[in-house]
A = this chain, B = another copy of it.
């Protein structure tokens, strides 16, 4: 009864997810470096994708970063013209964050390189497996923390 669904023995999920994440990030890092982006900077550009985010704290939360540490990253991205940080006319405490066309270009270029790496990796799977894996990964990664209790 310890094996519901007839699932064969397997490693813990975290014991598989952690090395995979490490390997993916290790593979991303040099690609991002080529574009002059740190992991956090890239995460910010992704987080600002499309919808502008209203507050820096909200952005930090959405990308799982510390809200005080993200500030230097934003400073740098703004200085390089990749994002815009304008005071909200309706609430001058707030900085409206948005990605610039230049920022979008850079993000797209970096992401394209990353996608090439990822697709090489996924190409070893069957179409069905690839589809199911990405779909499930998407669902599980989007679950709120309390679903893991």
Q: Contact residues of A with B, CB < 8 Å?
A: 2, 4-5, 7, 10-28, 43, 46, 64, 111-112, 114-115, 117-121, 124-125, 127-141, 143, 145, 147-149
For the complex, give the distance between the alpha carbons of A55 and B127 in Å: 41
How many identical subunits does the complex contain?
A: 2
24 A–B contact pairs at CB < 8 A? A2-B112, A4-B119, A7-B130, A10-B134, A11-B46, A11-B141, A12-B28, A12-B46, A15-B141, A16-B140, A17-B141, A20-B137, A21-B21, A23-B143, A26-B148, A117-B149, A120-B149, A121-B147, A125-B139, A129-B132, A129-B135, A132-B136, A133-B136, A133-B137
> Closest B-chain residue to A140, C-beta based?
B20
Shortest A30–chain B CB gap in Å is: 9
Instruction: Say whether A20 contacts B19, CB under 8 Å.
Output: no
Instruction: Say whether B17 contacts A148, CB under 8 Å.
Output: no
Given contacts A7-B130, A15-B46, A18-B21, 6 further A-B contacts (CB under 8 A): A11-B46, A12-B111, A12-B114, A13-B118, A18-B25, A22-B64
Kindly identify which residue among B18, B24, B128, B134 contacts A148, using a CB–CB cutoff of 8 Å: B24
Chain B residues within 8 Å of A23, by CB: 143, 145, 148
